[in-house]
Amino acid sequence: MRFKKVPNRILILIIVLSSSIYPQQSELSKGVNYLSEFIASNYFLQLKKDNTDTALVDSIYIRAINFYEKDYQEALLALTFTTIPYSRVPLVIPLLKIRLYYPLISASDSIANLKNQNLPNKLFFDSPDNEFGDKDKLAHFFGNAFIGYAENILKLADVFGYFVEAFEEDFKAQSEVDFRDVDVNWYGVLFGETLELNKQVLPSQIMAIRSLRYLRIIL
């Protein structure tokens, strides 16, 4: 599968939390495995027959919230790793021109492959009309939702901001900047911040705001 853009602060978040810095990695792995198995299941395939892709995103989100017993921060983090449609991210050391592939927390290859096939891909009115569609946007959305939700608690955005600045001087991801990625990042943060105020809000409701906003501009 061709690697697509992972936003810098999400890439840093992934690398930091995949390391020993994150003290509950085993719990994160359990959540990623659980959610991946759900998306890879025949039951999820049946859901796909009768539900929109944004409704499927809600079902994955609700599963995560229930698995973590309403620990929204942990659920959003697990959703970020679960919805990344590949198991490694490419990095390049500019001066040495050495490409590295950083392994991510993910399910087994067989489960991950089925999960990636089943990930919802028609999330917005402008989702690409192909098999991959907007599968990569889910990690953008949930990763930034995690930052938006946790920012007031742990000031993670400031920490990652400094880390990203240092990272960008020495490393770079192998992909071009995508305006739609940046746009979806913003709505992910909006979801996380809204979730702090209203635990009943669903991802599909924020995704709908994006589509309605741009349709209004077009009309």
How is the chain split into domains, by residue range? 8-218
Cβ(105)–Cβ(185) below 8 Å: no
Structure tokens at 133: 């569609």
Chain Cα centroid distance, residue 155: 19
Question: Which pLDDT value is given to residue 58?
Answer: 98
Q: What is the pTM of this model?
A: 0.77
Q: Exposed, middle or buried: residue 214 (CB in 10 Å: 0-12, 13-18, 19+)?
A: middle
**AA identity, residue 139:** A
pLDDT at 117: 93
Q: What is the pLDDT along the chain (219 residues), one digit of tens a residue?
A: 444 444 455 555 555 555 444 445 588 889 999 999 999 999 999 999 999 999 999 999 999 999 999 999 999 989 988 998 877 766 666 666 777 776 777 788 899 999 999 999 999 888 888 888 898 899 889 988 998 887 655 555 444 444 444 444 444 444 455 677 788 888 999 999 999 999 999 999 999 998 787 665 544
Query: According to the model, what pLDDT value does residue 5 have?
Result: 47
What was the pLDDT predicted at 16? 53
Give pLDDT, residue 21. 43
The length of the chain in residues reads: 219
Rounded to whole angstroms, how far apart are CA atoms 93 and 12? 15
To the nearest 10°, the Cα dihedral for 135, 136, 137, 138?
70
Q: Tokens 């746009």 correspond to what residue?
A: 183
Residue with tokens 């395939």: 45
